[in-house]
Structure 1
Amino acid sequence: MTLSLSRPELILKLIVEQYLSDGQPVSSKALADNVQLAVSSATVRNTMMALEQQGLIRSPHTSAGRIPTTAGIRLFIDKMLQLQPLSGFWINELQRKITPQLPISLLCQQAGQLLTNLTGFVAIVSAPKAEGRIVRQIDLVRLASDRLLLVVIDEDGDILHRVLHCESAIDNSTLSKVLCLLNAALGGGGQWQDGIERLGTIVRSETGLCQQLLQKVLGQLSLDELQQHQPLIFGQHQLLLTPEYQQNPALQQVMEMLERPDGLIRLLQSLTLDDKPKLLLGKESGFIELANVSLIAQRYQSQPQRFIALLGPRRMNYARLIPLVEACARQLNLNLNRRQASP
């Protein structure tokens, strides 16, 4: 599709495209030499001056070159950006790595890790589990006289398995009693969190080795419940390697926000209320910590609401990355629907 642009729009488009490509200020001479313009350097300079007065470009220092502002990049994305089709390699990777056979937690992990691997940026996936998680099965398997394997399976097929090390040998009678109490607390298709609360009550009424074992199980169940309700974040180290991070200490605030992501998750939840891809540039997010980065986000499930997002420097290849995040969300949604439709 060919865009019909005015001269100022075309000049802005060329500035943004060059900046997104190499991060360098664009001079009027470089623009005047562009065959798409066919105008004099004076005309380009006058147009650039007008664009600067409109707040769409700015001079980063005393050089003659200009870079786009957030407003300039936003206008480019909203009016001039032409999205590119996914490469065959990316399509194959999405289909190969995000498959319906995987439990939901692993499906989300695969999607986030793949997005980071393909882009080199930070991927954020909403918590794999929603409230009301159901326990389908719980078991204790003897590995040795003083070691047990805890196995818990939830309704999505996700399996928790943890080795429990005990201070003394566990006789069969104690093992049978503990397993009976665990099934009383968590068995029968009850909710995970409710089961944890019931198990906590049971622990307080027991003594000795039986109580010790139940406390170990309670600790593992509580930790897993906490982890399952935390967002998945991949590729933080990738941000550390970007030239922008090396040159801009303000990006260190992003790392701190990723370590305590509650505010970021609320932002992404409010952003992904429909099935359209969303893009936030810098200060548009309302968070000073995100002033130097961009977020591409897409909802992939409405009930419960789940999203996937990509965070990186403002200088992203939006034409390629927006379709990638969309495709990743579609693949997740497709496979979640296949799982739900399976008998």
Structure 2
Amino acid sequence: MSDTRRLEVLRAIVEDYVHTQEPVGSRVLTERHQLGVSPATVRNDMAALEEAGYIAQPHTSAGRIPTDKGYRLFVDRLSEARPLTQPQKRAIEKFLSEAVDLDDVIGRAGRLIAQLTGQVAVVQYPSLRRSGLRHLELVPTGENRLLVVVITDNGRVEQRFLDVPDDVDEATLGELRARLNAAAAGRRLTQMDVAFNEVSAAVAPEHRPLVTAIGEVVTSALDEEQEERLVVAGQANLARAGMGFDQGLSPLLEALEEQVVLLGLLTEMTSDENVAVSIGHENKLAGLSRASVVSTGYGSDGDTVALLSSIGPTRMDYPGTIAAVRAVARYLSRVLPT
């Protein structure tokens, strides 16, 4: 599609249909947009767009609506970035920065996306498989018991108790704590066994069983949290009039409940740095065949640790949704615990 004017006609059809929720006719296009041609010429352009599969006629009226193919061309070549206003940016930053812990951060991010887009938000918790160890603490609690505290670089905290021998004193614990933290620095949680093996080989033989036991406790605690977690917010938005799911909301709700499958789709479509858009039948999950997904990654220090997405009708405000997802991901990265 190289004809510039026909691309402008497609842009006008998409923008009007998103705004009015009604099929768009040639006369309306010439009245609302400065196309510089007659309604008859616009009708010819619309006929060419329809023949190419970019627009379709939903019923016998003269109006046309975009197809998935038309939305794809709009997103790839015609949509323009719509930066958020300064008040919107300040409100996002303030809202996220007031979070008290990781759960609060993730929950707030989901509510923000849902409110900004009027659609469904899906926010992934930072993945342990892509996380690192920030600090390992060993706290004696008396009665030959030790509290093992694992703090990840994205704010997760796991605590487990461990029985220890009578002859383990504060000095020994201090040495083990220092060695374990030094060995774990910069390593992913999935590499912790290497760190513990290094420490075990460096300490006195009588302390190696304790290092092994601490390693088993840490591994066990993290294994319990390995399942990826998603927060889904704004499902009620899907039932609003005009969302386009009146006759088929159940498949979409079921798709949102299949979190493992949904996460697989989001992971496959999303790059680390850019906002990705998957439209209608491009989605491999059947329940999303009438929806579009806008997704990006977030994380601290430029390292993507999780995904943030907005899901809505194919007739969504793509520039607005992309801007909202990008902005919230950026601010979420800034306030993510480090």
TM-score computed with the length of structure 2 as normaliser:
0.71
Following superposition, the deviation at residue 292 of structure 1 comes to 1.0
Which residue number in structure 2 is paired with residue 56 of structure 1? 54
Q: In 2, Cα distance between the equivalents of 1:155 and 1:85?
A: 33
Which residue number in structure 2 is paired with residue 238 of structure 1? 237
Following superposition, the deviation at residue 70 of structure 1 comes to 1.1
From 5, 8, 12, the equivalent of 2:6 is 8
Query: How do residues 182-193 of structure 1 correspond to structure 2 at under 5 angstroms?
Result: none
Percent sequence identity is 32
RMSD: 3.9
Query: How do residues 21-60 of structure 1 correspond to structure 2 at under 5 angstroms?
Result: 21-34=19-32, 36-60=34-58
Which residue number in structure 1 is paired with residue 323 of structure 2? 323
Q: In 2, Cα distance between the equivalents of 1:304 and 1:64?
A: 47
Q: In 2, Cα distance between the equivalents of 1:262 and 1:118?
A: 26
Contact 1:138–1:182 under 8 Å retained in 2? no
**One-letter identity of the residue aligned with 2:229:** Q
Following superposition, the deviation at residue 48 of structure 1 comes to 1.2
List gaps (5 residues or longer) in structure 1.
Answer: 142-149, 162-177, 195-220
What whole-Å deviation, never above 9, does each CA across 1:283-342 have from its counterpart, x for those lacking one? 112222111111111111365631111111112212222111111111122233xx43xx
Does 82-91 or 9-18 show the bigger shift?
82-91
**One-letter identity of the residue aligned with 2:11:** K
Cα separation, partners in 2 of 1:102 and 1:15, compared to 1, 3 Å: same
Cα separation, partners in 2 of 1:41 and 1:243, compared to 1, 3 Å: closer
Contact 1:128–1:231 under 8 Å retained in 2? no
How many residues get paired?
A: 285
Contact 1:245–1:252 under 8 Å retained in 2? no
From 17, 20, 30, the equivalent of 1:19 is 17
Cα separation, partners in 2 of 1:63 and 1:335, compared to 1, 3 Å: same
Contact 2:126–2:305 under 8 Å retained in 1? no
Contact 1:279–1:295 under 8 Å retained in 2? yes
Q: In 1, Cα distance between the equivalents of 2:325 and 2:17?
A: 22
Following superposition, the deviation at residue 179 of structure 1 comes to 6.1
From 293, 296, 299, the equivalent of 1:295 is 293
State whether structure 2 residue 332 is matched by structure 1 residue 314.
no
Q: In 2, Cα distance between the equivalents of 1:284 and 1:62?
A: 27
Contact 1:138–1:153 under 8 Å retained in 2? no
Following superposition, the deviation at residue 118 of structure 1 comes to 2.3
What whole-Å deviation, never above 9, does each CA across 1:141-199 have from its counterpart, x for those lacking one? 9xxxxxxxx997744555689xxxxxxxxxxxxxxxx9664999xx978989x9xxxxx
Which residue number in structure 2 is paired with residue 332 of structure 1? 332
Following superposition, the deviation at residue 226 of structure 1 comes to 6.7
Which residue number in structure 2 is paired with residue 208 of structure 1? none
Cα separation, partners in 2 of 1:16 and 1:42, compared to 1, 3 Å: same
Which residue number in structure 2 is paired with residue 123 of structure 1? 121
Q: In 2, Cα distance between the equivalents of 1:97 and 1:66?
A: 41
**One-letter identity of the residue aligned with 1:285:** N
Q: Secondary structure at the match of 1:232?
A: strand
Contact 1:151–1:159 under 8 Å retained in 2? no
Contact 1:121–1:310 under 8 Å retained in 2? yes
Query: How do residues 215-226 of structure 1 correspond to structure 2 at under 5 angstroms?
Result: 225=225
Q: Secondary structure at the match of 2:81?
A: coil
Contact 1:126–1:231 under 8 Å retained in 2? yes
Q: In 1, Cα distance between the equivalents of 2:80 and 2:222?
A: 47
State whether structure 2 residue 253 is matched by structure 1 residue 255.
yes
Q: In 1, Cα distance between the equivalents of 2:126 and 2:34?
A: 48
Cα separation, partners in 2 of 1:58 and 1:159, compared to 1, 3 Å: same
Following superposition, the deviation at residue 7 of structure 1 comes to 2.1
Contact 1:27–1:65 under 8 Å retained in 2? yes
Following superposition, the deviation at residue 109 of structure 1 comes to 2.1
List gaps (5 residues or longer) in structure 2.
Answer: 142-146, 169-175, 193-220
Q: Secondary structure at the match of 1:98?
A: helix
Following superposition, the deviation at residue 56 of structure 1 comes to 0.8
Q: In 2, Cα distance between the equivalents of 1:44 and 1:93?
A: 42
Cα separation, partners in 2 of 1:37 and 1:256, compared to 1, 3 Å: same
